Structure 1
Amino acid sequence: MGAPRLTAGLDRYLRMGHGAHLAVHGPLPEYGAQELVELARQIGLTGKGGAAFPFARKLQAVIDSARRRRLPAAVVVNATEGEPGSAKDRMLLARAPHLVLDGALLVARALRARSVAIGVDEGSPGVTSMPAAVAERRSRLPIRVVQQPARFVSGESGSLVRGINGLVTLPPSRKVRSSDGGPGGVDGLPTLLSNAETYAQLAVAARLGAEAYCAVGPADEPGTVLLTVNRPGARRPVVVEAPAGTPLGVVLDACGTGPGQGVLVGGYHGMFLDAASAVSAPCSRAGMRQSGGTFGAGIVVPLPEDTCPLGEAHRIVQWLAAESAGQCGPCRRGLPELARAFGVMVAGGGTGAVEDVRRLAAAVVGQGACSHPDGSAGFVRSALSAFAEDVRLHTEHAGCGRRVRAVLPTEPWSPERNAAPAGRVSMKVDWALCDGHGLCAVIAPELITLDRNGFPVISEGPVPVWLTLSAKRAVSQCPALALRLAASGR
């Protein structure tokens, strides 16, 4: 929408090789480290992965740390996209990989970095497209493409650095900054880590200059934004480049869809907007915030009128619990408890169930080793607020009368995108056999609780990877043989 920048040339090329890339975008100028800091400051560049941290401050922190410690720097491109509703970075990797490489090499040369690492999801287009692009460049600077497990927490900065360093791809147990180096950096070096789109935006700005870059979009947030619009019933999402500040309703209309009964913006650590607010909400971070939402990674998912919004949200709360790292209390116990409480509320648990959900959501905030519990709690609170009338219907009448259409995706896009990944299982109960013995709740308390009659209450969602062994033990030791594991979703 509007003049293309990141998407320039994609009307002519399915994938732009290096020659086509240079023909479309022209040569890449050289910048010194402080010149690059000033450019990023002038255009107000922030991280495009969701956190929106100012890029200039991050770059300056790496410069200062490397100078203070007399060490070279490292550069990391976070091209993992564990958010199921997002496809913008996959699009860049698949179709415009050299724009991402331009930004990374621009920074690496300015920092005189030792290496560049590009983290990509297993099975994503980046697995083949990025190594091919690196080979085309013949760069003297070592550039490696590192595959990461396709999980929600794999894109957390500390988790990605650990994976690049050959460690288990999980967030560190305490918060560390990659710019400081040490345990937070690649090979212990001060590390500049940012999202794939961020580097692509920097490459565009380096060619245009600050004034021309800022000619599009609002003064406080210039440039364009990439949005992934997930259309109900469509085979694939649409990635849209639009001037920052474009009303979301205009974007939805261009994609052939509408706001339905509400729109999730920002992904599963984002927020729901009601239909009226969504239509007028500007597609910028400040605009979304003023409209009561959050921009996040630019993920847009309208909920059609014929699906149960709380049922949709319950599926995602279960998924978020299963996607956690499982290495601290809020993730091991808090999120599974929150998912179960949300399910009780959806099934008609009354006002007490709503209060349980609010209490459990508040209990995990600020307590985790990473931001996953906080983001998950924010998603829950947003659902309760945006769909207050549905909360009333579910608590007073045990439902809203609509089925759950599974509109909110739980896997990255593919022709079978909502199919459970290999090995993902859920736990089932054969109620004809269950006698309420209760042993299962002792063996796997994170997965199973008992109701007032002593019968198991089990989440319908996928079993977290880190609890698979507990689930198998509960199944094998059930005296009545009433438990089984099945492929998730069956």
Structure 2
Amino acid sequence: MTGAPSPGLGCVGAPRLLAGLDRMPRLDRTAHLGVHGQLPQLGPDELIALAEDIELRGRGGAGFPFARKLRAVSRSARARDGSTAVVVNGSEGEPSCLKDTALLLHAPHLVLDGALLSAAALGAEDVVVAVTRTDVEQSVREAVAERGPAGRRVRVVRLPERFVTGEGTALVSGLNGGAALPSGQKVRTSERGLNGVPTLLSNTETFAQLAVAARLGAAQYRTAGLASEPGTVLLTVAGSTVVETPTGTSLAYVLDLCGTEPGQGVLVGGFHGRWLDPASARASEVSRKSLAAFDAVLGAGAVLPLPQDTCPAGEVARVTRWMAKESAGQCGPCVRGLPALADVLEDAVRGGGAAALDAVRTRMAVVRGRGACSHPDGTSSFVASALAAFPEEFRDHALGSGCGRRVLGALPLPEDENPERLVVDWTLCKGHGLCVDILPDVVRLDADGYPAEASMPVPGRLRPKALRAVRRCPALALRIRE
């Protein structure tokens, strides 16, 4: 996603986090103060009370109460030498989620306000914003420079862009100079984080919400959203549009605002999330309680409707393969289990029979609960949810009839920088042309009926078809090369 386009922006009701962005594409320091006003200073007890009064929870996926994090860091600091740090997690390694990217590109000062407000209350000298995109890094660095001397305590660090980079221990390890990979240990950053000191770590939107609440006060903040879940949330719809909406808004209304509908179903919570069938998607609201009734979670706010004209089984297999490639490479369930799960799932989608679907369920059971981090569990749960949501689709594919629809890439994935390639062995090729029938988006024929190129890039979503073309070539003239 490095260098990917900036997401579109939308709003249900009056914007808070996205205020002012209808008039200008980015709020510099002067514009930011004109829209939001000066930031009040709050002591530790005042900040904790505010977070409790508005029931602020982390917006990165886990939904952990922010006030408890503040208390834990403060308590750990008192038990040690008093040093603390604040880390803003802006890594956002999942291509289906762009809300933190939107904030850091368009309203970076709101995020910095929340981080610096927390740092002042905790007495933290070190404030770090962790990012993975070059354009986001540039935007945050410009915002830090616009603050003059007050911004000198803020560091911006760019980490590798991977799905697992945003996991807490992975992020801290990367910031401490190690590999940005999960440690496999249950280490609380509130006890030992950046440079070994108690660290307040939360995602971009959480700090932005805190900055808004500090200006509005708890009572005014609670005028938007549900009484049990006050305020607004940011959603990334269809991997392209970031929408700010009060909690309690109909999910179907948000989709309609973005020019789409539930289609065949809606994946909520991203690639570690759950599928809602169309009826459930229309009945649900944007809230933790409403989604829990459908065994779903909002997570980091990704909402992915699946259009009627794409193949659900192919879309799920495509994402599973990408998730396997995003392995942290530290344990067997990730290194071997996830690629094996992707293999058997692709086999089922290609018509491997009922045994292939049984193999998918076996592979899911093998990786579940055995990983060093949550990635194997999350990936297997994504597949399990898809099998439950689209049972007839997977059955028809496994038995060979399929659905007749192409895979359109409705579930967003980054473009491969070094995609696999379909390679032609000219000493064997006889110009049968079956390859172009199977892969019209990859193979072009020349005037003589032979492939026009000897080496053709294969997008990840078309890998199953490329494998089929290799197997069906009568002359055995094709192969896939990394």
Shorter-normalised TM-score: what interval? 0.7 to 0.9
SS in 1 for 2:279: helix
Measure the CA separation in 2 of the matches of 1:427 and 1:176. 44
Give 2:368's match in structure 1, choosing from 342, 350, 365.
Answer: 365
1:141 deviates by 5.5
Question: Does 1:88 find its partner at 2:88?
Answer: no
Scaled by the length of structure 1, the TM-score of the pair is 0.83
1:432 deviates by 9.6
**TM-superposition CA deviations, 1:288-341 (whole Å, max 9, x none):** 121232211111111111111010000000000001111111101110111111
Tell me the amino acid that sits aligned with residue 246 of structure 1: T
Question: Does 1:132 find its partner at 2:135?
Answer: no
Greater Cα shift, 274-283 or 319-328: 274-283
Measure the CA separation in 1 of the matches of 2:420 and 2:112. 38
Contact 2:85–2:194, Cα closer than 8 Å, also in 1: yes
- Which residue of 2 is the match for residue 455 of structure 1? none
Give 2:228's match in structure 1, choosing from 196, 220, 226.
Answer: 220
- Which residue of 1 is the match for residue 463 of structure 2? none
- Within 5 Å, give how 1:418-437 maps onto structure 2: 419-421=415-417, 423-425=418-420
Greater Cα shift, 192-201 or 130-139: 130-139
- Which residue of 2 is the match for residue 151 of structure 1? 162
> Relative to 1, partners in 2 of residues 1:60 and 1:310: Cα closer, same or farther, differing over 3 Å?
same
SS in 2 for 1:295: coil
SS in 2 for 1:397: coil
Give 1:241's match in structure 2, choosing from 244, 247, 257.
Answer: 244
Measure the CA separation in 1 of the matches of 2:197 and 2:60. 22
Structure 2, unmatched stretches of 5+, are: 1-11, 429-457, 461-475
1:37 deviates by 1.4
> Relative to 1, partners in 2 of residues 1:405 and 1:340: Cα closer, same or farther, differing over 3 Å?
same
SS in 2 for 1:91: helix
Measure the CA separation in 1 of the matches of 2:326 and 2:110. 31
Give 1:16's match in structure 2, choosing from 10, 20, 27.
Answer: 27
Give 1:105's match in structure 2, choosing from 90, 106, 116.
Answer: 116
**TM-superposition CA deviations, 1:155-205 (whole Å, max 9, x none):** 111111111111111111423111111xxx111111110000000001111
SS in 1 for 2:220: helix
1:427 deviates by 8.2
> Relative to 1, partners in 2 of residues 1:192 and 1:424: Cα closer, same or farther, differing over 3 Å?
farther
Structure 1, unmatched stretches of 5+, are: 232-236, 412-418, 434-459, 463-479
Contact 2:144–2:151, Cα closer than 8 Å, also in 1: no
Give 2:271's match in structure 1, choosing from 264, 268, 271.
Answer: 268
- Which residue of 2 is the match for residue 305 of structure 1? 308
> Relative to 1, partners in 2 of residues 1:430 and 1:272: Cα closer, same or farther, differing over 3 Å?
farther
Contact 1:74–1:113, Cα closer than 8 Å, also in 2: yes
1:426 deviates by 6.4
What fraction of aligned residue pairs are identical, expressed as a percent?
Answer: 55
> Relative to 1, partners in 2 of residues 1:426 and 1:171: Cα closer, same or farther, differing over 3 Å?
farther
1:83 deviates by 0.9
1:239 deviates by 1.0
Tell me the amino acid that sits aligned with residue 255 of structure 1: C
Scaled by the length of structure 2, the TM-score of the pair is 0.85
Measure the CA separation in 2 of the matches of 1:429 and 1:45. 57
Tell me the amino acid that sits aligned with residue 146 of structure 2: E
- Within 5 Å, give how 1:455-470 maps onto structure 2: none
Contact 2:350–2:400, Cα closer than 8 Å, also in 1: no
Measure the CA separation in 1 of the matches of 2:401 and 2:268. 28
Question: Does 1:291 find its partner at 2:315?
Answer: no
Measure the CA separation in 2 of the matches of 1:13 and 1:164. 33
Measure the CA separation in 2 of the matches of 1:37 and 1:428. 60
Contact 2:90–2:132, Cα closer than 8 Å, also in 1: yes
**TM-superposition CA deviations, 1:426-482 (whole Å, max 9, x none):** 68797998xxxxxxxxxxxxxxxxxxxxxxxxxx986xxxxxxxxxxxxxxxxx998
1:41 deviates by 1.4
How many residues are aligned here? 428
- Within 5 Å, give how 1:373-384 maps onto structure 2: 373-384=376-387
- Which residue of 1 is the match for residue 473 of structure 2? none
SS in 1 for 2:156: strand
1:363 deviates by 2.0
SS in 2 for 1:52: coil
Measure the CA separation in 2 of the matches of 1:429 and 1:66. 63
> Relative to 1, partners in 2 of residues 1:71 and 1:398: Cα closer, same or farther, differing over 3 Å?
farther
- Which residue of 1 is the match for residue 481 of structure 2? 485
| Structure 1 stretches of 4+ moved >3 Å | 423-433, 480-484
1:266 deviates by 1.1
- Within 5 Å, give how 1:39-58 maps onto structure 2: 39-58=50-69
Measure the CA separation in 2 of the matches of 1:427 and 1:75. 47
**TM-superposition CA deviations, 1:336-392 (whole Å, max 9, x none):** 111111111112222222222122112222211111111111100110011112122
- Which residue of 1 is the match for residue 455 of structure 2? none
Give 1:230's match in structure 2, choosing from 196, 218, 238.
Answer: 238
Give 2:399's match in structure 1, choosing from 391, 396, 399.
Answer: 396
> Relative to 1, partners in 2 of residues 1:395 and 1:431: Cα closer, same or farther, differing over 3 Å?
farther
Greater Cα shift, 249-258 or 136-145: 136-145
1:142 deviates by 1.4
Measure the CA separation in 1 of the matches of 2:336 and 2:386. 21
Measure the CA separation in 1 of the matches of 2:254 and 2:368. 33
Tell me the amino acid that sits aligned with residue 98 of structure 1: H
**TM-superposition CA deviations, 1:378-409 (whole Å, max 9, x none):** 10011001111212212333412211112111
Measure the CA separation in 2 of the matches of 1:253 and 1:43. 29
Measure the CA separation in 2 of the matches of 1:481 and 1:168. 41
**TM-superposition CA deviations, 1:237-288 (whole Å, max 9, x none):** 1111111111110001111111111111111111111111112211122221
SS in 1 for 2:201: strand
Measure the CA separation in 2 of the matches of 1:428 and 1:288. 46
Tell me the amino acid that sits aligned with residue 380 of structure 2: A
1:96 deviates by 0.4
Measure the CA separation in 2 of the matches of 1:428 and 1:91. 39
SS in 2 for 1:193: strand
Contact 2:419–2:459, Cα closer than 8 Å, also in 1: no
Measure the CA separation in 2 of the matches of 1:284 and 1:27. 30
SS in 1 for 2:399: helix
